[in-house]
Structure 1
Amino acid sequence: MLDNKPAQSQDRQPGLEGDMRPEPETAPRHPGSERLEGKVAIITGGDSGIGRAVAHAFAREGAHVAIAYLDEHDDAEATLEAIYSEGRNGFAIAGDLGDVQHCHEVVNQTLSEFDRIDILINNAAEQHEVADLVELSPEQLERTFRTNVFSYFYMTKAVLPHLKSGSAIVNTTSVTAYQGHPTLLDYSATKGAIASFTRTMSMQLVERGIRVNGVAPGPIWTPLIPASFDAKHTAKHGEGTPMARVGQPNEVAPSYVFLASDDGSYMSGQILHPNGGTLVGS
Structure 2
Amino acid sequence: MTENPLHRHPRPEFPEQGQEHPGWTGPMDPPPDHGEESYEGSGLLTDRKAVITGGDSGIGRAVALAYAREGADVLFTYLPEEGDDAAETSRLVEEAGRKAVAVPCDIREEEQCRRLIERAVDEFGRIDILVNNAAYQMSQPDGIEAITTEQFDRVMRTNLYGMFWLSKMALPHIPAGGSIINTTSVQAYKPSPHLLDYAMTKGAIVTFTQGLAQMVAQDGIRVNAVAPGPVWTPLIPATMPDTVEFGKQSPLGRPAQPAEMAPAYVFLASSHASFITAEILNATGGTPLP
State whether TM-score is above 0.5.
Answer: yes
2:280 matched to 1:274?
no
Equivalent residue for 1:96, pick from 106, 111, 116? 106
| Distance of 1:92 and 1:239 partners within structure 2 | 34
Equivalent residue for 1:27, pick from 35, 54, 63? 35
1:146-198 per-residue CA deviation (whole Å, 9 max, x = no partner) reads 00110000110110110111000000000000001110010000100111100
Task: Indicate the larger mover: 75-84 or 127-136.
Answer: 127-136
Match of 1:83 in 2: 93
Contact 2:14 2:244 in 1 (8 A): yes
* Residue identity in the other structure for 1:135: A
Equivalent residue for 1:112, pick from 112, 122, 134? 122
2:283 matched to 1:261?
no
Contact 1:84 1:90 in 2 (8 A): yes
Match of 1:47 in 2: 56
| Distance of 2:151 and 2:98 partners within structure 1 | 38
Q: CA RMSD in A?
A: 1.0
| Distance of 1:249 and 1:263 partners within structure 2 | 22
1:111-160 per-residue CA deviation (whole Å, 9 max, x = no partner) reads 11122210000000010112211221111111100001100001101101
2:162 matched to 1:129?
no
Contact 2:39 2:66 in 1 (8 A): no
* Residue identity in the other structure for 1:27: G
* Residue identity in the other structure for 2:186: V
Contact 2:126 2:175 in 1 (8 A): no
Alignment of 1:1-282 (within 5 A): 2-10=11-19, 12-27=20-35, 29-71=38-80, 72-130=82-140, 131-230=142-241, 233-281=242-290
* Residue identity in the other structure for 2:201: T
| Distance of 1:5 and 1:77 partners within structure 2 | 27
For residue 68 of structure 1, give the secondary structure of its aligned residue in structure 2: strand
* Residue identity in the other structure for 1:202: A
1:76-135 per-residue CA deviation (whole Å, 9 max, x = no partner) reads 000000101100001111121011111111111111112221000000001011221122
5+ residue gaps, structure 1: none
* Residue identity in the other structure for 1:26: H
Match of 2:3 in 1: none
| Distance of 2:13 and 2:256 partners within structure 1 | 11
1:198-256 per-residue CA deviation (whole Å, 9 max, x = no partner) reads 000001000000000000000000001000112xx212100011000111000001000
* Residue identity in the other structure for 1:253: A
Contact 1:59 1:83 in 2 (8 A): yes
| Distance of 2:289 and 2:215 partners within structure 1 | 26
| Distance of 1:53 and 1:31 partners within structure 2 | 12
| Distance of 2:44 and 2:128 partners within structure 1 | 13
Task: Indicate the larger mover: 208-217 or 92-101.
Answer: 92-101
Contact 1:4 1:245 in 2 (8 A): no
5+ residue gaps, structure 2: 1-5
* Residue identity in the other structure for 1:98: R
For residue 13 of structure 1, give the secondary structure of its aligned residue in structure 2: coil
